[in-house]
Amino acid sequence: MAKGLNKVMLIGHLGNDPERRETASGQVVVNFTVATSEGFKDSSGNQQERTEWHRIVVWGKLADICSQYLKKGRQVYLEGRLQTRSWDDSKSGEKKYTTEIVCSDMQMLGSGKDSGSGMGEQSYGGQERQPSVKPPRQESASGDFSDRSSTGSVQEIEKDDLPF
């Protein structure tokens, strides 16, 4: 049984160009911010908009991709997990905290003109996603599924039957 779930999914716009660095061990890390907005009506019935800013941290190969293709203003879809870090402030000596999203998957959204890269939607991340195509179910009036005339090969499945 799982002990918990820590998953974040965001769609928003980059607030700044990704800042690329390398750790002492040579691992690539990228930081940037993403803004998400939501509309709502206040108590007077006026339409309002609230913007939330999120700190994003990306590591490894995905960090390289983010630093290469993402630019300020670009719309992205991100998946990751929340992480809170703490440190002691060197000036005041007090303990400071920050909560950030450690990104594991990223998909660029919007048109290529948003970022000037000329790319449409592209998806990057930790897992390869292959669509699964199942043959359409054919049943007789008796409900017997054993007599199928289709072999279920990809060529036999109509394009309109695909779930994507």
Judged against a pLDDT cut of 90, whether residue 71 lies above it is answered with: yes
Q: Give the pLDDT confidence score for residue 149 in this predicted structure.
A: 43
With beta carbons less than 8 A apart as the criterion, state whether 18 and 73 touch. Answer: no
Each residue's pLDDT tens digit, 86-139: 989 899 999 999 999 999 999 999 865 544 444 445 455 654 443 333 344 444
Strand partners, 40: 48
The region that residue 150 occupies, defined by phi over 0 for left and psi between -120 and 50 for alpha, beta otherwise, is: beta
Task: Characterize 74-97 residue by residue with b for buried, 16 or more Cβ atoms within 10 angstroms of its Cβ, and e for exposed.
Answer: bbbbbbbeeeeeeeeeeeeeeeee
Q: Give the confidence band of 1 by pLDDT, cuts at 50, 70, 90.
A: confident
Spell out the domains of the chain, with CATH numbers in brackets: 8-39+48-125 (2.40.50.140), 130-164 (no CATH)
The whole-angstrom separation of Cα 31 and Cα 23 is: 13
Tokens 């060197």: give the residue. Answer: 90
Q: Give the pLDDT confidence score for residue 110 in this predicted structure.
A: 81
Q: Give the pLDDT confidence score for residue 124 in this predicted structure.
A: 54
With beta carbons less than 8 A apart as the criterion, state whether 78 and 57 touch. Answer: no
The whole-angstrom separation of Cα 117 and Cα 110 is: 11
With beta carbons less than 8 A apart as the criterion, state whether 135 and 156 touch. Answer: yes
